[in-house]
Amino acid sequence: MKNLEIVKNMTKEEVLNLFDEADEYRGKRNNLLKQKTLGMIFKKASTRTRVSFEVAMYQTGGQAIFLSKQASQLGRGEPIKDTARVLSRYCDGIMARVFEHSKIEDLVKYSDVPVINGLSDEYHPCQSLTDYYTIWRKKGLDAKVVFLGDGSDNVCHSLINTATVLGKEIVVSCPDQAKYHPKVKGNYEVIHDPHEAVSEADVVYTDVWVSMGETEEKERDLMDHQVNQEVMSKAKSDAIFMHCLPAHRGKEVTDEVMESSNSVVFDQAENRLHLQKALLLKLMK
């Protein structure tokens, strides 16, 4: 494993090893990345991705450098391949949060150091690895996982990738329109009726309906796939609710579900730190 572009490029053993190492380093600090530097490119706003990577580098003795579009030459049109080759000479690793997935592909192609996809419009591998790490800890990997909302969402794509690599299947409940169906291959079943989809579910997952840079026109199409108490009542009584955050309460999920005892969204958010620490140590140690 030299980079993290998309999860489907990983093996099952590599994913499970990350889970074990996330547990091993959980809550611990060390100097295994002492004097090493992670260059972080952000073309999109961020809370969890930025803070978790910066803290992970600090807790392992290294340092992260934040590069926003506005505060770097990327904002003035410098090609990503030039940035990749320059950062490779300064840093020990690169993490990027971008719009077009082709930018991640260019970073991988032109960098001489490990590249981590911190999010693109098509994939969010750090999130889905964290999500299955959370599921592994709380429910085990044989859990029935159901995603409700836009199946063409980058988080849903990466959840499908991760489930497939692990030899599992995920259920996707989305409107009966092709534009909302997943655009990746993998082990998943599409069920349009959300109540049917979540029957006997161990994990109920949703994401924002309107991602950064999108319009709000699709909200009316997705309203039937809101995660509310009625939907949760169709799942197992001890089913957990997951959301990658930020959540738009009252849209894709109700405040009641977010604040319920079934919700593990903040454990899930915390796990970004632990999983990414293991990832950084795997790629940069």
Domain coordinates in residue numbering, the chain:
7-124+269-284, 126-266
> Is residue 226 annotated as a catalytic residue, yes or no?
no
pLDDT of amino acid 218: 84
Model confidence at 169: pLDDT above 60: yes
pLDDT given for residue 214 in this prediction: 56
**Given 50, 150, 244, 274, the catalytic residue:** 244
Angle (deg, nearest 10), helices 265-284 and 125-138? 120
Is residue 211 pLDDT above 70, yes or no? no
pLDDT band at 216 (very low <50, low <70, confident <90, very high): low
> How much is the pTM?
0.96
Q: Which fold has domain 126-266?
A: Rossmann fold (3.40.50)
What is the average pLDDT across 7-14? 98
**215 falls in which pLDDT band (50, 70, 90)?**
low
Confidence of residue 78 (pLDDT cuts 50, 70, 90): confident
97 is catalytic: yes
pLDDT, residue 75, reads 63
Alpha helices in 111-262 (DSSP H): 125-138, 154-165, 194-197, 219-222, 229-234, 255-258
Counting residues of the chain whose pLDDT is more than 70, the rounded percentage is 96
Gap between the Cα atoms of 140 and 217, Å rounded: 37
Distance CA 231, CA 199 (A): 9
Is 104's pLDDT higher than 60? yes
Q: Is residue 14 a contact partner of residue 129, using CB atoms and an 8 Å limit?
A: no
pLDDT level of residue 72 (50, 70, 90 thresholds)? confident
> What are the start-end ranges of the H helices in 139-264?
154-165, 194-197, 219-222, 229-234, 255-258
Distance of CA 261 to the CA centre of its chain: 23
Band of the pLDDT at 77, cuts 50, 70, 90? confident
Higher pLDDT, 71 or 108: 108
The pLDDT-based confidence of 213 (bands split at 50, 70, 90) is low
Phi, psi of 157 (to 5 degrees): -60, -45
Whether 85 is a known active-site residue: answer no
Contact assessment for residue 148 and residue 206, using Cβ atoms and an 8 Å cutoff:
yes
**% of the chain residues with pLDDT over 90:** 91
Same fold, 7-124+269-284 and 126-266: yes
Q: Which residues pair with 204 in a beta bridge?
A: 146, 241
Q: Of these residues, 48, 50, 101, 124, which one is catalytic?
A: 124
Per-residue pLDDT tens digits for 250-284: 999 999 999 999 999 999 999 999 999 999 999 99
Instruction: Tell me the per-residue pLDDT of 18-55, one tens digit each, with 9 for 90 and over.
Output: 999 999 999 999 999 999 999 999 999 999 999 999 99
Determine the Cα–Cα distance for residues 12 and 164; give it in Å rounded to an integer: 9
Query: Which residues are 63's β-sheet partners?
Result: 37
- Average pLDDT across the chain, whole number: 95
* pLDDT score at 185: 97
Contact of 148 with 204, CB cutoff 8 Å: yes
Does residue 272 have an active-site annotation?
yes
Cβ burial of 177 (10 Å; 0-12, 13-18, 19+) is exposed
| Cα(150)–Cα(156) distance, integer angstroms | 8
Annotated active-site residue in 106, 126, 127, 150: 127
**CA 10, CA 24: separation in Å to the nearest integer?**
20
Tokens of 158: 């990466």
- Long-range pairs for 63-68: beta carbons < 8 A, 24 or more residues apart: 63/36, 63/37, 63/38, 64/37, 64/38, 64/39, 64/40, 65/37, 65/38, 65/39, 65/40, 65/91, 66/40, 66/42, 67/39, 67/40, 67/41, 67/42, 68/42
Tokens of 183: 């655009």
Is 38 in contact with 189 (CB distance < 8 Å)? no
In the prediction, which pLDDT does 70 show?
77
Q: Is 244 a catalytic residue?
A: yes
Here the tokens at position 34 are: 């002492």
Catalytic annotation present for 150: no
From the list 48, 50, 101, 272, the catalytic residue is 272
Question: What does the pLDDT read at residue 69?
Answer: 77
pLDDT at residue 73 tops 80: no
CATH tag for 7-124+269-284 (out of 3.40.50.1370, 3.30.830.10, 3.30.1360.20, 3.20.20.210): 3.40.50.1370
- Rounded Cα distance between 32 and 25, Å, is 11
